[in-house]
Amino acid sequence: MAIGLQDVDGLTPSQYLLDTAKEHIEGELSIDQVQSRIAAYYQQRDERTQAELESEEADVVSSRIAEILGERAFTFSPSELKSIHGRLFKGLLKEAGAYRRYNITKNEWVLKGDTVRYSSWNIVPETLEYDFEKEGAFSYQGLSKLEVTRHIAAFASGIWQIHPFCEGNTRTTAVFIIKYLNAMGLEIGNGPFADHSWYFRNALVRANYTNLDQDVHETNRYLEAFFENALLGASHDLKNRYLHIDWVGDVNATGDGEMHIPQVAPQVTPQVLRLLDVLGDKELSLRQIAEALGLSDRKNIMRNYVVPALDSGRVVRTVPDKPNSRFQKYRKA
């Protein structure tokens, strides 16, 4: 779960972290030993590429998430949220554990480059206090587990839209919500956060975006599908392309736990079409794709070119067919 959550920011943990995590899971290493190993691993590198810097963040934050989730201590408060952010990003972000002091926008692929309207920076503390007071006064007594799940989805959506921190909000929100659920005695499955964390972020985006000209409205249904999988063991198909505002038709969650999905739009994004042109009949690595596109930001290429192409079924991953390998290649489907 901790490793999978790095995908919300397009980060890929190193193979060293994956190998070390296996030893931790098998009980051969404590979390303190894992963190010491990671620190020593990166201290040996005097000069690092951008990819190595991103892997370092993914490795360090993954180990810290695992540490926090392994602790039973928890307080339901905005201070706990700030503390989690500070612990996750200490030494990685200049303003770790501090509320942002400027307004932000973020270009979102699922919104065709538009942004969610986040809370104004100068009312972040008051807005968080309001949401926490409202949630603290809410009674779960007598609710079905489905009703609990949908309420949690709405609460998570609300605190994420406030976007209290400059960076790292989705990972912080996810860790806080998992801790909150565990404190209420609710077990949450690892699978959705491990395998679908970018869907989780895109679902939060769609839960907080309205564009009347395009007939797009805020909806929690995608986020509810995610939490239903995590808390109820439902089997909704969590595909990012279903969340794109250009998706043709509707996505209807039905009582049988499945989501019935219509056909994808013939053109998802201009970036996908550029990627298809670059691939042609070749099989290319991410480095080769970056060179062909004339771009250097591999995080941007993964987020805006490769992942949408994979999700829309137009491109397949090869050599090998798994997301955490440094040596993966891509070709047209």
How far is Cα 251 from Cα 103, in angstroms, rounded to an integer? 33
Read off the DSSP letter of residue 332.
E
Query: Taking the alpha carbons of 42, 43, 44, 46 in that order, is the dihedral positive or negative?
Result: positive
pLDDT per position in the chain (333 positions), as tens? 999 998 888 888 888 898 999 999 899 999 999 999 998 888 876 666 666 777 889 999 999 999 999 999 999 999 999 999 999 999 999 999 999 999 999 999 899 899 999 999 999 999 999 999 999 999 999 998 999 999 999 999 999 999 999 999 999 999 999 999 999 999 898 889 988 999 999 999 999 999 999 889 999 999 999 999 999 988 888 988 889 998 865 554 444 444 444 333 444 567 888 888 889 888 898 889 999 999 888 888 888 888 778 777 778 887 654 444 456 788 887
Predicted pLDDT of residue 47: 66
- Cβ-Cβ contacts under 8 Å for 179 (sequence gap 6 or more): 68, 69, 74, 80, 84
How far is Cα 229 from Cα 233, in angstroms, rounded to an integer? 5
Domains by residue range for the chain, with CATH: 1-71 (no CATH), 72-262 (1.10.3290.10), 270-332 (1.10.10.10)
Predicted pLDDT of residue 306: 85
Which residues share a beta bridge with 315? 332
**Structural contact between residues 138 and 146, judged by C-beta atoms closer than 8 angstroms:** no
How far is Cα 300 from Cα 295, in angstroms, rounded to an integer? 9
Burial 317-330 (b: 16+ CB within 10 A, else e): beeeeeeeeeebbb
Which two structure tokens, joined as six digits, stand for 237?
A: 């198909």
Half-sphere exposure of 305 (CA within 13 A, CB side): 23
Closest CA to 148 of 254, 218, 231, 219: 231
Predicted pLDDT of residue 20: 92
Predicted pLDDT of residue 248: 66
Which two structure tokens, joined as six digits, stand for 193?
A: 């956060």
Which residues share a beta bridge with 216? 211
Predicted pLDDT of residue 280: 87
Predicted pLDDT of residue 269: 63
Predicted pLDDT of residue 172: 97
Closest CA to 157 of 105, 202, 211, 109: 202
